Structure 1
Amino acid sequence: MSKKDPSGPFNREALTRLDDAASDASQPVKLNPTASQVAHQYRRDTISPVMVSGLMRMTEFGLVLVSGLAIFVIYVGLGTHLAYVYPLVILAGALLYVLLIEMSDGYQITALRHPAHHLGRLLITWISVFAILALAGFLLKTSEEYSRFWFVTWLGTGLALLIALRFIIARKIRGWARNGTMERRAVIVGGGKNAEELIRSLEQQPDNDIRICGIFDDRDNSRSPPIVAGYPKLGNISELIEFARIAHIDMLIVSLPITAEARVLSMLKKLWVLPVDIRLSAHTNHLRFRPRAYSYIGAVPMLDIFDKPINDWDYVAKRAFDIAFSLFGIIVFSPIMLLTALAIRLESKGPVIFKQQRHGFNNEIIKVWKFRSMYIEQCDPTAKKAVTKDDPRVTRVGRFIRKTSIDELPQFFNSLVGTLSLVGPRPHAIAALSHNVLYNEVVDGYFARHKVKPGVTGWAQINGWRGEIDNAEKIKMRTEFDLYYIENWSLWFDLKILFLTPIRLLNTDNAY
């Protein structure tokens, strides 16, 4: 679910109000041979244009900064009385360049792909930076104190380095576009004439980074042709769920008229569990909204229905957050973990660490590490039988570490290697049951919890929804809190949950 739900009928409340008689889209579906072959050829991860633009900003900032500092150290030297001022001026110049080139759209993929067409923009921006620095020095009456040779040399050297970098990156981008490294993988949902017009429009866009991987439609071949604009129909909407997870699809483009509200909502009810951008094509609609209501692929208008949560630089920030706090947690809690491992070995035979298969991001199966709290011969890797109060399978040490959540401490290592995040929906065992019913059969849209990486702790846990799930209401409430977290994610939200966790763990009523 997107953090920024658009207005109108396309939100989660509308989807839950719709009674769909079709089977739950989260159920595993076997792909036909053609769809399976296509899906597996796309399994390699890609670089998004947003990431490329962001890395280019950082690289050019570093290049301007380092070139200015290098010329200062070589020619002026650190012995000058302005040794602390020069670096500040160089830093200001680097920041000013990135700001001005950003304002002139110099980091758009089109500009990066064709640097020769935008050299004038770069030259004007670079000269403007030095003009502003010179004007500032004149107004502050300090310009005579700075080395003119350093100033002119930095201007010439920096310009040459920036131009060279732009041409090198342009060559790399064109190579990435050819081999599929930099692309957005899209699936067209819905066939027929609408889909054909959409595909033709997308193919006509210059520098298009969209790769259409196929078409999915619930209608049979008599109502929806098996091939549209040269692309095969690979299956129905239920099969699309599995296809999108295997192929790491980035975007679903729904090619249905907005007036077909019931059919659109029926499809979205199945598709919103996926961690992808979902767009409704608006290129053939006669109903027009304000320009800001649309996003665009080239000149093709789209209505944003759902956005992939925690994407691009948000993902980088969250991963850095996980690594930093995981290392901190491992260092701080290492004495407790060593003592716990020793206590487990002294009380009962068997390994100290218990590994359990659980559902991770995008419904993939991951192994979660915990301290073993049961007798080795009674461990339950499938979690078909939940641990209950005074469960005879749990050791004495196990009761204590489960009560205090010490058994979860090895998951700092899960977070460090990337199978878990520190904060997110808690991963459930793949065979976990509520009254002999799988969780995804209890809660409609349960697998939407897996649109982000699961966490060691989460919003549901600090709000009291931890421990045994002995009725349907508990799993429903846990899912509701998890979805709220996904829709409202921010680093500050993660930090709040992380620091509230030890306080809320003092309440051990549901932990056994």
Structure 2
Amino acid sequence: MNTHTGPLLTTAQPDLVERKIAPSLERRRLRAYTLMLLIDAVLLNLAFALASLLYEGEWWEPRTMLAAQTILPVYFTIALYNSTYGVRALGDWLFASRKALIALGISAGLLNFVAFYLKANAEFSRVAMTLGLVFSAIALMSFRRLVPIIIDRFWAGRIRNQLVINDGGPSFSLAKCSTISAAKYALDPTSHDPFMLDRLGKLLRNQDQVVVSCPRERRASWAFLLKSSGVYGEIVSEPAHELGALGVHRYSAQERTTLVVSTGPLGLRGRITKRLFDIVVALAGLVALSPVLLLVALAIKLEDGGPVLFVQRRLGRGNQFFDMLKFRSMRTGKLDLDGERSTSRDDDRITRIGGFIRRTSIDELPQLINVLKGDMSVVGPRPHALGSRANSKLFWEVDSRYWKRHSLKPGLTGLAQVRGHRGATEEEKDLTDRLRSDLEYISNWSLGHDVAILFRTVWVLTHENAY
């Protein structure tokens, strides 16, 4: 079944979209933050060593260096939480210096406070400590001043991906940004065409900031799309209550105002935490379950000689398509690539081994590979086939909020599944119950929540609606 209702790309061919996909700068920034952490540690130690040499007459005097190594973990703890190591700190040395000095000052104050109550002040030389802090402050500020210069030299000053989409609104541009025409790429915010949404998702991939300039009547539609895509988005506009703006940015040089309408559900720390959790669980799962995977693969092959895996296009993060893996549970001549027909009890398409692996959810295990590839998470909204329907309606026709569930990566399991919302979607309520749980999960994400859902999944691996 082809659910594409609008025209395919005419003015913007697929290869043109691929060429416009921005490279990810997240790894580059993470390397920069790590290097800054290491250099800060070296600078703090050298500053206190110099202080000990000048005051005590001994390089790396033990008492003075003890103070440095005591203050360092406290400094890093505070610095990691006050944006000392953040995107803005890479390009704005005054901001970065201010944050580093605040972290250093608070660390020194906490150290002095603890030392006072432990009666350990005598262990530290006040003069050497003061000199060490002064030298540390000078070193940290000097290094912050060098960071933008180094970035300009080696990265051409580019630390963020910024995209401006011109959809017929006021003229707008940002320094070192990419600008595209909505018409050239056939982007229509009022359309629910999944092919258009996949195209937009690819263009928004790896973007740190997206600004849309459009006519007033299209602002609400663009705001909805940006929220659904899970990106930080702004719309060039005067404040409008119906957009649910999260903030206002004023670009004085252009006399333009934008409304922040989306930020993405997870910040950098949350994305890193969730990704590490996914990798650890997926690797452990593949190793621990490898005998089961091999036995099931062998059983499928022996039953009818067909392919072991079933590959189906699903909707993923940012409304982009990806190929989801499952153990094949249907007869080779009756595979449903678009998911237009929901599985029913005693379905004549399902093989004998297929019925067993579907009832026990074993057919979903190959998606651990999707998790390692980065297409999916261990926990998240379950991905749906393009032709999935509820009461003869496509899912997005039942509730337009459906697209918002794709602001996070889809999951092997999710809040909807552990609540028992599984199986065929015969009625609209079957979808809306899942959608409500998915949106609740996205709004309240935490690592602890993911762990709890993963454990609860064990109790719903077999379910009366799993067939």
TM bin (shorter chain): 0.7 to 0.9
TM-score of the two chains, using structure 2 as the length reference: 0.73
Q: d(CA) in 2 for partners of 1:241 and 1:87?
A: 57
Alignment-derived partner of residue 78 in structure 2: 99
Query: What percentage of aligned pairs have identical amino acids?
Result: 27
The match for 1:213 among 156, 164, 179 is 179
Alignment-derived partner of residue 200 in structure 2: 244
Distance 1:328 1:163, change over 3 A: same
> Structure 1: 5+ residue runs without aligned partners?
1-25, 76-81, 218-231
RMSD (Å) for aligned C-alpha atoms: 4.8
Alignment-derived partner of residue 296 in structure 1: 249
Shift of 1:397: 1.8
Matched-pair contact (CA < 8 Å) for 2:391–2:425: no
Alignment-derived partner of residue 456 in structure 1: 412
* Equivalent AA in structure 2 for residue 469 of structure 1: T
Matched-pair contact (CA < 8 Å) for 2:91–2:148: yes
The match for 2:38 among 55, 62, 69 is 62
Alignment-derived partner of residue 55 in structure 2: none
Q: Which sits farther off after the overlay, 105-114 or 481-490?
A: 105-114
Q: d(CA) in 2 for partners of 1:274 and 1:254?
A: 17
Distance 1:254 1:479, change over 3 A: farther
Shift of 1:344: 2.6
Distance 1:143 1:269, change over 3 A: closer
Q: d(CA) in 1 for partners of 2:154 and 2:20?
A: 14
Distance 1:157 1:235, change over 3 A: same
Shift of 1:266: 5.4
The match for 1:314 among 264, 270, 275 is 270
Shift of 1:394: 1.7
Matched-pair contact (CA < 8 Å) for 1:61–1:98: no
Alignment-derived partner of residue 315 in structure 2: 359
Matched-pair contact (CA < 8 Å) for 2:213–2:236: yes
Q: d(CA) in 2 for partners of 1:493 and 1:417?
A: 23
Q: d(CA) in 1 for partners of 2:267 and 2:96?
A: 29
TM-score of the two chains, using structure 1 as the length reference: 0.68
Matched-pair contact (CA < 8 Å) for 2:391–2:426: yes
* Equivalent AA in structure 1 for residue 403 of structure 2: F
Distance 1:243 1:401, change over 3 A: closer
Shift of 1:100: 6.5
The match for 2:303 among 343, 347, 366 is 347
Matched-pair contact (CA < 8 Å) for 1:341–1:352: yes
1:66-465 alignment runs, 5 A limit: 90=69, 92-96=71-75, 99=78, 112-113=90-91, 115=93, 166=144, 169-174=147-152, 178=156, 182-188=160-166, 191=169, 195-196=170-171, 199=172, 211=177, 213-214=179-180, 237-238=189-190, 244-248=200-204, 250-253=209-212, 264-265=219-220, 268=223, 272-281=227-236, 294-296=247-249, 302-434=258-390, 437-465=393-421
Alignment-derived partner of residue 466 in structure 2: 511
* Equivalent AA in structure 1 for residue 25 of structure 2: I
Distance 1:114 1:497, change over 3 A: closer
Shift of 1:457: 0.8
What is the number of residues matched between the two proteins?
442
Secondary structure of 1:273's partner? helix
Secondary structure of 2:289's partner? helix
Shift of 1:402: 0.8
| CA displacement 1:298-343 (0-9 Å, x = unmatched) | 6676544333223433221111111111122223323332332333
Secondary structure of 1:33's partner? coil
1:488-499 alignment runs, 5 A limit: 488-499=444-455
Distance 1:38 1:408, change over 3 A: closer
Matched-pair contact (CA < 8 Å) for 1:358–1:429: yes
Alignment-derived partner of residue 475 in structure 1: 431
Secondary structure of 2:228's partner? coil
> Structure 2: 5+ residue runs without aligned partners?
53-60
Q: Which sits farther off after the overlay, 308-317 or 438-447?
A: 438-447
Distance 1:387 1:121, change over 3 A: closer
